[in-house]
Structure 1
Amino acid sequence: MRTFDLSPLYRNTVGFDRLFSLLDSVGGVDAAPTYPPYNIERTGENAYRITVAVAGFTDAELGIEVKENTLTLKGEKKAAEASQDGQMLYRGIAARAFERRFQLADHVEVKGAVLENGLLHVDLVRNIPETKKLRTIPISTTGTGAAKSIEGSVAPAQAA
């Protein structure tokens, strides 16, 4: 029997972790793009953070859009002017444009984004409406000395 890796699904979704834990034995396809590299971490019970390595990009060259439970991160490097002092001999730092999409679960909202030290941090939080939250209903009990009522009448205690 084959075993399948669900890690590509974990990488492109946020807030579905319980669902994927149940489907861990089901197959997935590893055809996801690898640029730019990123991490998804859970920072609280209903809080997540996506960290994307965007070295060389400024905040003006990055864009974040949310539409219909899809978070899209875009980066487009402006054309760099050739240096007057010398020629580029080797370019190892990627400066290509990218577009990365993440599927968000219901009620997951983007709270903010911060660019620091070449890493773009996007903070997410799951806000579950009050009508969908788990409610605990208190159970009231009658006193221990009260007689039980059957069909509206109190049954007298019988001696053995």
Structure 2
Amino acid sequence: MSTLDFSPLFRSMIGFDRLANALETAYRTEPGGYPPYNVELLDENRYRITLAVAGFTEAELGIEAKENLLTVTGQRQANESEGNFLYRGIANRAFERRFQLADYVKVQEARLENGLLHIDLVREVPEAMKPRRIEIRAAGASPAIEHASTERPKAA
């Protein structure tokens, strides 16, 4: 397996080294796995991850969001009444799924219904990070922001 060289991108992109690491990790990650999942774009700032976790209860599932990493785990409780199976096609194993989240993406809600775990995510960009319009002044025009004078008025 070869590695990808992202150095040409860094000539014109500043501060995207984490993007290169994410692409390299995605390149090395095997597709598939257990449990199967969907990632859905609901609108510009809302996403949903849906995992097929049939047979798991809320108590057997765990969701942890730390920094930009979302980890979903499932640990089946030992069942005393295990039968004598001739064939076992339903997966009954523990799992851990990790999802790398972009900056400002937060978990909004998680719910389990009909064997599907839905995790709703929302991107909340801080006001300071949103685009803003900068006024361009003509040469020689007075500044838009005037600073108060530091001199005290003279007493008469």
Question: Which category describes the TM-score, using the shorter chain as reference length?
Answer: 0.5 to 0.7
Partner residue of 1:92 out of 85, 89, 92: 89
Question: Residue 100 of structure 1 aligns to which amino acid in structure 2?
Answer: R
Matched residue, 1:62: 61
Aligned residue pair count:
120
> 1 CA distance for matches of 2:92 and 2:49?
20
Runs (4+) off by over 6 Å: none
> 2 CA distance for matches of 1:63 and 1:102?
14
- Report the TM-score when normalising by structure 2: 0.67
Give 1:96 deviation, angstroms.
Answer: 0.2
Map residues 81-120 of structure 1 onto 2, 5 A cutoff.
Answer: 81-82=80-81, 87-120=84-117
CA distances 1:71-107 after superposition (whole Å, capped 9, x unpaired): 0000000111235xx6222111001000111111111
Identity of aligned residues (%): 62
RMSD over aligned Cα atoms: 2.8
Greater CA radius of gyration, 1 or 2?
1
CA gap of 1:70–1:112, structure 2 versus 1, over 3 A, is: same
CA distances 1:11-54 after superposition (whole Å, capped 9, x unpaired): xxxxxxxx79xx8xxx9234255111000011011000000000
Partner residue of 1:131 out of 114, 128, 142: 128
| Higher RCO (C-alpha under 8 Å, 6+ residues apart) | 1
The unaligned stretches of length 5 or more in structure 1 are 5-18, 141-149, 151-160
Matched residue, 2:7: none
> 1 CA distance for matches of 2:86 and 2:124?
50
> 2 CA distance for matches of 1:101 and 1:68?
12
Matched residue, 1:44: 43
CA distances 1:96-141 after superposition (whole Å, capped 9, x unpaired): 000111111111100010100100000000000111101235689x
The unaligned stretches of length 5 or more in structure 2 are 5-18, 141-156
Question: Residue 89 of structure 2 aligns to which amino acid in structure 1?
Answer: G
Question: Residue 114 of structure 1 aligns to which amino acid in structure 2?
Answer: R
SS in 1 for 2:28: coil
Question: Residue 77 of structure 2 aligns to which amino acid in structure 1?
Answer: K
